[in-house]
Amino acid sequence: MSTIAAPSQALTASNRATSNTPPRLQDFDVIGDDAALVEALQTFGAGARVDECRVLGRALGSADGLEAGFAANEHPPVHRPYDRSGVRADEITFDPAWHRHMRLAVQAGVGGAVWADPDASAQVVRAAKFIGVAQVEAGSTCPLAMTYACVPALRLTRGVAERWEPLVTSGVYDTRALPATDPDKRGALIGMALTEKQGGSDVRTNTTVAEPTADDGWWRVTGEKWFVSAVHSDAMFVLAQTPEGVSCLLVPRRRDDGSDNGWTIDRLKDKLGNRSNPTAEVRFDGSLAQLVGEPGRGVRTIMAMIGGTRQDCVLGSTAVMRTGTIEAIHWASHRLAFGRQLADQPAMTAVLADLALESEAATWSALRLARATQDAADGDPQAIAFRRIAGPVLKFWVCKRAPLHSAEALECQGGYGYVEESRLPRTYREAPLMSIWEGSGNVQALDVLRAMQREPECVDAFLAELDAGAGASRRLDAAIAQLRDVIGAGTVDEARARELTVRMARCLQGSLLVRYAPAVVADAYCAARLEDGGGTLGCLPPGIDAEAIVARHRVAA
């Protein structure tokens, strides 16, 4: 029998000693430590509410707050089709961390409560909070976004709004499967079930049908839906065929008597990204529903909601980039290679600065969009026109940048960035989703063309926004002039829709940064992004103060 010698004291000690391992980035203020986000809050009218955002930011960035993001994904929701007696139940159970995180976000106003907030900066505040919440756990942002965005659609039909709006905007996280009419029900989550197997972008191909019942105002919905996220929600918007064409309906999970509403979950999907949010395949079998908007105008009706969820894709992608930026800078600021701190080595400093630049551009864009949402909701026609086109422009661009950014940020952490103990594998897997759902890249670029052709006032509003930054940078002025030439040349071919959208996005980000960001950031953006070939992450042109940009984005935790 062989024996294993006990290790010597010295060997044990040296094996256990670790050096050059950066501490975990935690116990920081996810919102308040983000200089660009705080400045954007102040610039877009929410300066008086920065302290309120900081309270949430500290809770999110605490060790417990960050741990909730890990736990909700390490212990994903479970679908229980039947109860113990064999009765169909379709119950979804979650890790307690999911509920903790969701409750924090809903109570902070990241769901639908913003629509009951009379403050003139409410949408801007909510956007900053959403960016904070998304940095900790991305899956939760899906129900939060849908519950937020559904309110303008609910309001299209009085009976529907009366039933649901008080619950959606209450700021109470209440997951009990009770009907909306139950006096005990204090809050609700709302989702959407649009996509079917045969088509997600082209929802006109939906085969789900809705038939009116004898009860005035109620319909029966029957059909299969292929992607239904936050499937535990209290109600779902669906698109279904009616004699008038595709119509929009709201299907509650429970009927008014508390019974099941013919809503069966076939299975949960095994996704690339977050594990925390249950995305399911669902069948509706004669489910009772209320019509929303006019019959046959379902696509138009649901667009009242999709403007909001698209905005939240921009916010979510901004969060991906902020997480990558601060994690990369933190790691490189505590890690030595070849005897020197990584963050101080020029090739790494340039990469970190470029990540920060992209993240900062996204942050200003995201909050500008939220400001437009606020002003549009208040009836400002210029804001309505600007938001109509800036929405798809930024949804395309910011969401396209996030996966590239995430991969580069992860690489800054070397091998550690590739393992699940780092936060970055989760952001890396999540990043592509924002570009797919709520209209994929091509769909957004084609929507930009559609807005230009059908609503020319959008182009005027967009160019007016760009011109507000004119004269500050010769590169920006040249880029705007080129964009005007492209637009002025007439109808843009579909094959060039992306190219046009990218030009518009870069000009918008440049214009925002020259007006609002520190000169070191604005100059770097214009030099790095507005000339041909700009955009490969980590390849900053000469003459940029990379150290200053990195210092602005370093979190002292």
Ligand X SMILES: Cc1cc2nc3c(=O)[nH]c(=O)nc-3n(C[C@H](O)[C@H](O)[C@H](O)COP(=O)(O)OP(=O)(O)OC[C@H]3O[C@@H](n4cnc5c(N)ncnc54)[C@H](O)[C@@H]3O)c2cc1C
Q: Name the residues that contact ligand X, by CB under 6 A.
A: 191-195, 199-201, 227-229, 271, 279, 433, 436-437, 440-443, 446
Give dist(CA 223, CA 225) in Å, integer: 7
Measured CA to CA, the distance from residue 545 to residue 557 in angstroms comes to 24
The residue whose two tokens read 């590169």 is 475
> Nearest residue to ligand X, using CB?
200
Question: Do the strands 88-93 and 78-82 form a parallel or antiparallel pair, or are they unpaired?
Answer: antiparallel
Query: CA 460, CA 81: separation in Å to the nearest integer?
Result: 53
Cβ proximity to ligand X: between 371 and 400 the closer is 400
Residue 495 CB, nearest distance to ligand X (Å)? 9
Is 284 within 8 Å of 251 (Cβ atoms)?
Answer: yes
Which C-beta is closer to ligand X: that of 31 or that of 314?
A: 314
As measured in angstroms, the least distance from the Cβ of 198 to ligand X is 8
Rounded to whole angstroms, how far apart are CA atoms 385 and 369?
Answer: 12
Output 434 or 459, the one with its CB closest to ligand X.
434
Minimum CB distance to ligand X, residue 280 (Å): 9
Coil vs helix vs strand at 90: strand
Q: Which is nearer to ligand X, 199 or 212 (CB)?
A: 199
- Shortest Å distance, C-beta 310 to ligand X: 11
Which CB atom, from 56 or from 133, has the smaller least distance to ligand X? 133
Q: How far is the CB of 149 from ligand X (least distance, A)?
A: 12
CA distance 366 to 343: 28
Treating both helix axes as pointing N-terminal to C-terminal, what angle do 519-529 and 497-516 enclose, rounded to 10 degrees? 160
Residues 501 and 397: beta-carbon distance below 8 Å: yes
Choice between 31 and 151, CB closer to ligand X? 151
In the bound state with ligand X, the residue whose beta carbon lies nearer, of 441 and 535, is 441
CB 275 within 8 A of CB 219: no
CA distance 95 to 73: 9
57 versus 223: smaller Cβ distance to ligand X:
223
The answer to whether 429 touches 443, Cβ cutoff 8 Å, is no
| Structure-block tokens of residue 163 | 């039933």
Which is closer to ligand X, CB of 171 or CB of 200? 200
How many CA atoms lie less than 13 Å away from 168 in the CB half-sphere? 29
- Rounded Cα–Cα distance for residues 478 and 470 (Å): 10
DSSP for 367-436 reads HHHHHHHHHHHTT-HHHHHHHHHHHHHHHHHHHHHHHHHHHHHHHHTGGGGGSTTSSHHHHHHHHHHHHH
End-to-end CA distance of the chain: 52
Nearest alpha carbon to residue 264 among 279, 276, 281:
281
Packing angle of the helix pair 346-377, 546-553 (nearest 10 deg): 60
Q: How far is the CB of 17 from ligand X (least distance, A)?
A: 43
- Smallest distance, ligand X to C-beta of residue 453, A: 15
Cβ closer to ligand X: 238 or 522? Answer: 238
Task: Tell the smallest beta-carbon distance from residue 442 to ligand X (Å).
Answer: 3
User: Residue 300's closest CA among 454, 148, 403, 434?
Assistant: 454
CB of 229 to ligand X, least distance (A): 3
Rounded least distance, CB 143 to ligand X, Å? 9
Measured from the CB atom, is 163 or 232 closer to ligand X? 232
As measured in angstroms, the least distance from the Cβ of 364 to ligand X is 26
Q: Report the DSSP pairing between strands 190-193 and 235-242.
A: parallel
